[in-house]
Amino acid sequence: MSTFNTISGGAFQDSSGNPLANGYLTIQLSQDGVVNTSTMVCSGYEITVKLDANGNVISSPAQTIWPNDVITPSGTFYTIYAYSANGQLVWGPSYNQILSTPTPFDLGSLTP
């Protein structure tokens, strides 16, 4: 049975190279999908992930997401945007797959 993967890290920065302190990410699935033959994953739902003072995904509570490699149909991806603490867009859109391994999945490994 497929399970969520925890997302971590990121070290997101603004255009001056400063950590995106207390900013946030929005993450949205590219299309509706199914996990474990009966669990719907809806593309219309936008996930908000808070960042800490260093621009990393907060660790408590753990931030989890369905990995793209367990979603049917294959080929789904997430659209990710990063925002400053005051809501200014600083990064994105970035189109990436978040996979089952490694776990946790470090968002710092994403290619913009």
Q: Would you state the pLDDT for residue 111?
A: 79
Q: Are 90 and 14 in contact (CB under 8 A)?
A: yes
pLDDT of residue 2: 84
CATH ID of 5-100, from 2.170.14, 1.20.58, 1.25.40, 1.10.10? 2.170.14
Q: Look at residue 110 in the predicted model and tell me its pLDDT.
A: 87
Domain map of the chain by residue range?
A: 5-100
> Do residues 84 and 90 make contact, with C-beta atoms less than 8 angstroms apart?
yes
How many C-beta atoms lie closer than 10 Å to residue 51's C-beta?
24
Looking at residue 93, its pLDDT comes to: 96
For the chain, 112 residues long, give each residue's pLDDT as a single digit of tens.
789 999 999 999 998 999 999 999 999 999 999 999 999 999 999 999 999 999 999 999 999 999 999 999 999 999 999 999 999 999 999 999 999 999 999 999 987 7
Question: Does residue 40 contact residue 34 with C-beta atoms inside 8 Å?
Answer: yes
